[in-house]
Structure 1
Amino acid sequence: MRRAVRSLVIGVVAAALAAPALARAPHRILSMNLCADLLLLQLAPRARIVSVSHLAHEGAQTLFPGRDAGIAINHGAAEDIVNLKPDLILVGDTSTPMTRALARRVGARVVEVKSANSLAEARAIILRLGDDIAERPRAASLVARFDLTLAALAARPAQRRPRVIAWSGGAFVPGAGSLIDDIIAKAGADNLAARPGGAGSAFDVEALIAARPDALLYGAERSGPPSLHNAQSQHRLVRRLYARRSIAYNDVAATCGLPQSADAARDLRAALDRLPTRSLTP
């Protein structure tokens, strides 16, 4: 009898402790950041999402078409917070004092979704947001698939290690400490922009030709399939050298820390394996 009573007491206490946590589970989530949008759409049931940012549709169209259909959009304005009355607001790395003040006014909590600079950080961000919105099991499921994808890559080392640059006609070139740099490394390639003296800066045609990468990587348009027309450079020598050595990657998955970021590494490995083996000649 005592054991039964003790078990009952423990059960009641456990339920009492769990109740506040359940009460705090957000049911009206508003996202004001693209990367947060794309995570939220994968983690939370539609009924708990009151709004995503106006940027969400293009990213969703690339990753999971239609998942954002019917969800209100916001432009990060004060009226969006006041009118939609969320109980949780997702923002990027920085949130303005106005956002926090309005959140207090409507009784909402503000959660900052950090930027991912590596696949390990992406993994942690997914789990953390799962906790923040009371969807840990769903987050754990997505991370399990993420881990399996990367484990499969690690179990099959690349036969060669091509030298690449994520280059779009001299625009900013991501170097060491960026998510795309880690994706490149996991795919089994060497990011030339991560070497000393070349990281995170403009890379003109002359510098590109001098570096002689085995392939050029460029972010595909979010609203359409990868195409060589996405590449900004039209220099005749670049076109001739890299006509068959230009690889499109999903710029959303390579910019935001998402479950699909692991897929980006897998897909890049497959594309790198298809590169011609002949040497580059000007």
Structure 2
Amino acid sequence: MPVIAIAALALLAAAPAPVAPKRVVSLNMCADQLLVALADPGQIAALTEWARDPELSAVAVQARAFPFTHRTAEEVMALRPDLVIGAPFRTKAVLAPLKAQGVRMVELPKGEGVEGIEASITTIAEAVGHPARGRTLIAGMRRELARIGPPPGRGRIAAYYQRNGFLTGTGTRVDDMMQRVGLVNLAGKLGRPALSRLSLEEMALERPDFLVMDGGTRVVADRGTAALHHPILDAAVPASHRFYIPQSLTVCGSPAFPRAVAMLAEQVRAADRAR
């Protein structure tokens, strides 16, 4: 090996490892969940107020152990962070003095589906100084997905139908979940964007094989959920073909996502067994 190359390798080996941050503040609901999974508890200075909400957060119970903010610049500055993750645009502008003082600002990578989740895990694991934990978490997710087994959907049509008639389209995390179970997204079949509205009458005409819904819509809680229990919809898709996934497992790209895929696969198999 040339002398220059040997010297370069020696310098790399001697270079000190990056110093792990001691006070991390998350300003992003999805970053909250990754921090809880990857950082030392003592590193977390604050999560967002949403981290404790069980409808939105898969780590709601664990998050109660940590302080939280309402994501204002004043709160962040008072916490004296050395790493801020996921600052909204306006907040980031106000936090410019902190950045000038050497405080790191890290963004979550864009991207839906498992690939996007893995990229986010890698980014946060490296940012908090625990890259090996990130690799372990990714390996665990892959094992969970592999255990789900052959996709039971067999190309049947499913619609992810939300409050007030919103339909989740392709290129989304929910669409990735459907594909992994072997289901075809009705929104893709109709050429709809990532989010659109489909009336009850239109849904009844399409008559998808299955409806996938947020677990919080099982009962009527407001006008938005009432539409999901309308007789028109009942006639189009029977109750046995309605599947419920907790929103906390899909709203963010988190390590909990494989649980959502597994739950959907099991509900498809249960519907088939009941036929």
What range is the shorter-chain TM-score in? 0.7 to 0.9
User: What is the rounded CA distance, in whole Å, between the counterparts of 1:10 and 1:198 in structure 2?
Assistant: 53
> Quick check: 1:91–1:113 contact (8 Å CA) kept in 2?
yes
The aligned residue for residue 16 of structure 2 is 18
Structure 2 gap ranges (5+):
1-6
The aligned residue for residue 171 of structure 2 is 177
The aligned residue for residue 4 of structure 2 is none
Residues 224-243 of structure 1: matches in 2 within 5 Å? 227-229=218-220, 231-232=225-226, 233-240=228-235, 241-243=237-239
- Give deviations 1:13-52, integer Å, cap 9, x for gaps: 5664024x1x2x1110000110011111111111000000
The 3 A distance-change label for structure 1 pair 229 and 269 is farther
Deviation at 1:150, TM superposition (A): 2.2
The TM-score with structure 1 as length reference comes to 0.82
The 3 A distance-change label for structure 1 pair 166 and 78 is same
**Alignment equivalent of 2:48, drawn from 39, 44, 53:** 53
Residues 34-73 of structure 1: matches in 2 within 5 Å? 34-59=29-54, 63-73=58-68
Deviation at 1:129, TM superposition (A): 1.4
Q: Which of 244-253 and 48-57 deviates more?
A: 244-253
1:112 aligns with 2:107: yes
- Give deviations 1:59-100, integer Å, cap 9, x for gaps: 498634531123111111121121100000011675644244
The 3 A distance-change label for structure 1 pair 59 and 29 is farther
**Alignment equivalent of 1:123, drawn from 108, 118, 121:** 118
Superposition CA RMSD, Å: 2.9
The aligned residue for residue 77 of structure 2 is 82
Deviation at 1:274, TM superposition (A): 1.4
User: What is the rounded CA distance, in whole Å, between the counterparts of 2:37 and 2:146 in structure 1?
Assistant: 22
User: In structure 2, the residue corresponding to 1:63 is in which secondary structure?
Assistant: coil
Instruction: Count residues in correspondence.
Output: 264
Which has a greater percent of helix? 2
Identical positions, percent = 24
The aligned residue for residue 4 of structure 1 is none
> Quick check: 1:165–1:217 contact (8 Å CA) kept in 2?
yes
Q: Which of 160-169 and 58-67 deviates more?
A: 58-67
Residues 1-282 of structure 1: matches in 2 within 5 Å? 16-19=14-17, 21=18, 23=19, 25-59=20-54, 63-91=58-86, 94=89, 96-104=91-99, 107-153=102-148, 155-158=149-152, 160-199=154-193, 200-221=195-216, 227-229=218-220, 231-232=225-226, 233-240=228-235, 241-275=237-271
The TM-score with structure 2 as length reference comes to 0.84
The 3 A distance-change label for structure 1 pair 156 and 106 is same
User: In structure 1, the residue corresponding to 2:64 is in which secondary structure?
Assistant: coil
User: What is the rounded CA distance, in whole Å, between the counterparts of 1:61 and 1:159 in structure 2?
Assistant: 27
> Quick check: 1:93–1:115 contact (8 Å CA) kept in 2?
no
User: What is the rounded CA distance, in whole Å, between the counterparts of 2:118 and 2:88 in structure 1?
Assistant: 17
> Quick check: 1:90–1:111 contact (8 Å CA) kept in 2?
yes
User: In structure 2, the residue corresponding to 1:147 is in which secondary structure?
Assistant: helix
User: What is the rounded CA distance, in whole Å, between the counterparts of 2:130 and 2:45 in structure 1?
Assistant: 16
